[in-house]
Amino acid sequence: MNLAWGITGAGHFLRESFEVFKELKHNKPELKVTTFISRAAEEVIRMYGLANELSNISCGSYLEECYYEREQGDSFPKTGRFLLQKYDALIVTPATSNTTAKLAYGIADTLVTNAVAQAVKGGVPVFIVPVDIAGEIESRMPFFIDREICMRCELCPPAQQCPKQAITDQIDLLKCDGCGLCITLCSYGAIRGDLAKLKVRDVDSRNVTILKELMGITVLNHPQKVTGMIKKLEKMQK
Ligand SMILES: Cc1cc2nc3c(=O)[nH]c(=O)nc-3n(C[C@H](O)[C@H](O)[C@H](O)COP(=O)(O)O)c2cc1C
């Protein structure tokens, strides 16, 4: 079975999405996964320390490539593969509220939204896991310096030893690769990656409702639901 995985720039459900694909590959080494990564996803994956895990899922050979939006031009020729029936399904997890909104209104101007458009046109089943569905969600934030705890040490071990030189009086998340070394180096526990409670906007909930009604798209409410959907697809193929 050949799967396409679309990742967008959401911290919420990101680790869970990686866990699901890692487990799928672990249980079925013959499964091929091509990964399509939005510009924002590339940054967010790095911030959460997950960049090195991509190669365990998509090793780089044919139909197991990692396609970064940054490198894909403006017309996304690689998404033509969906019209050529190269994939059994496209799974977008996590799907940001931005991508969900674009999909709800048929916009296809990013790598992942374009992949969805081509997949639907090519009759390839699409599964989307939106992060903002309804109510409140709890999400882990990338690392930050808690200014109330920070002692402003003259020689700050995290700043001195950060392999990415991402720390000054704050953490530059565009440089940070989420390795977590700084957490172990700060004796005061001033560097943290806390859970934050977020309210889902009504517009995002409405977009999910629209998405559920669209042809060829199935909305799942958690990355863990992906495994069951793949099993169902496999049964249907037998
Ligand atoms: C650390 C971090 C975490 C983020 N998490 C989320 C998230 O959980 N949900 C969301 O909708 N946007 C989140 N964003 C914002 C998106 O990355 C941003 O809206 C981006 O434009 C989405 O582009 P994409 O949908 O093409 O990936 C996050 C941004 C950062 C820096």
CATH of the domain at 152: 3.30.70.20
Q: Are 27 and 92 found together in one domain? A: yes
Q: Are 73 and 98 found together in one domain? A: yes
Tell me what pLDDT residue 236 has: 87
Closest ligand 1 atom, CA of 12? 8
Q: Are 31 and 128 found together in one domain? A: yes
Which residue is closest in CA terms to ligand 1's atom 13?
Answer: 10
The residue out of 158, 176, 193 marking a domain boundary is 193
Q: Are 46 and 119 found together in one domain? A: yes
Contacts of 187 (CB under 8 A, 6+ apart): 157
Q: How far is the CA of 130 from the centre of ligand 1 (A)?
A: 12
CATH of the domain at 70: 3.40.50.1950
Q: How far is the CA of 175 from the centre of ligand 1 (A)?
A: 17
Which residue is closest in CA terms to ligand 1's atom 17?
Answer: 9
53 in Cβ contact with 18 (< 8 Å): yes
Q: What's the domain range around 210?
A: 2-134+200-237
Q: Are 85 and 127 found together in one domain? A: yes
Q: How far is the CA of 95 from the centre of ligand 1 (A)?
A: 9
Q: Are 78 and 44 found together in one domain? A: yes
Closest ligand 1 atom, CA of 111? 26
- Which residues approach ligand 1 with their CB closer than 6 A? 8-12, 38, 40-41, 44, 47, 96-99, 110, 131-132, 139, 142
Q: pLDDT digit of tens for each residue in the chain (238 aa)?
A: 999 999 999 999 999 999 999 999 999 999 999 999 999 999 999 999 999 999 999 999 999 999 999 999 999 999 999 999 999 999 999 999 999 999 999 999 999 999 999 999 999 999 999 999 999 999 999 999 999 999 999 999 999 999 999 999 999 999 999 999 999 999 999 999 989 999 999 999 999 999 999 999 999 999 999 999 999 998 988 7
Q: CA nearest 72: which of 102, 98, 100, 41?
A: 41
Q: Are 189 and 209 found together in one domain? A: no
Q: How far is the CA of 61 from the centre of ligand 1 (A)?
A: 28
Residues written for the chain = 238
Q: Into how many domains does the chain fold?
A: 2
Which residue is closest in CA terms to ligand 1's atom 25?
Answer: 99
Question: pTM for the whole thing?
Answer: 0.96
Q: How far is the CA of 226 from the centre of ligand 1 (A)?
A: 21
Cα(150)–Cα(63) distance, rounded to whole angstroms? 47
Q: Are 124 and 148 found together in one domain? A: no
Q: Are 87 and 181 found together in one domain? A: no
Q: Are 23 and 126 found together in one domain? A: yes
